[in-house]
Amino acid sequence: MTTNFIDSEITDFKVNAYHDGDFTEVTKQDTLGKWGVYFFYPADFSFVCPTELGDLADHYADFQNINAEIYSVSEDSEFVHKAWAEATDTIAKVKYPMLADPAGKLARFFNVLDEDAGLAFRATFIVDPEGKIQSYTINNMGIGRNAEEILRTLEAAQFVAEHGDRVCPANWHPGEDTIAPSLDLVGKI
């Protein structure tokens, strides 16, 4: 079992999805060439999950503007995703692909499946255009996430990928100062 996913390549996959009013299929190959945010959550028709998916929907254009796609993932089928979008105004505004993982293949690969409950933990994986994981967080079921922090982390990952000789300090946002690591800075920050 992998305990550290950084720079690990995501598995080859093919899943069904509900995407902006239609059923579709999403494969690993479809996700390459742009940054991806794999956003695992426990279940449709639940409590914290719609607040998170709605928050991401409110910031979706910001992700698209920096060449990133969001893939929400739960163990529900694409049919349940559709029913949820039709029943709930918050989910109706979701325009990113909602991946169906009822067999738990993606959740098992990312090691976020609670086998006893049959639900995914709240996990966020930021994947670069080559399919390699650059950042991830995993929360327990009751701990919601923040779309702005996911976006900020993605922007930092993109900056570091482009400027490997510079790093991003805490709370960094695009346009702010970065750090060029050197022996001269040791003990001075």
DSSP for residue 93: T
pLDDT at 31 over 80: yes
Domain spans in the chain, listed from the N-terminal domain onward: 14-145
pLDDT of residue 73: 98
- Report how far apart, in Å, the C-alpha atoms of 70 and of each of 5, 77, 87 are: 19, 18, 22
Q: Provide the 10 A C-beta neighbour count for residue 134.
A: 20
List, for residues 95-151, the tens digit of each pLDDT value: 999 999 999 999 999 999 999 999 999 999 999 999 999 999 999 999 999 999 999
Alpha helix (H) ranges present in 100-146?
105-109
Residue 80 near residue 44, CB atoms below 8 Å: yes
Dihedral sign, CA of 59, 62, 64, 69?
A: negative
Stretch 147-172: mean pLDDT:
94
Which residues are catalytic, by number? 49
Token pair 């169906």 is found at 100
CA-CA distance, 185 to 14, in Å (whole number)? 47
What is the CATH architecture assignment of 14-145? 3-Layer(aba) Sandwich (3.40)
The CA-atom distances, in angstroms, between 78 and each of 50, 88, 123 are 16, 15, 19
Per-residue pLDDT at 182: 81
Share the mean pLDDT of the chain.
95
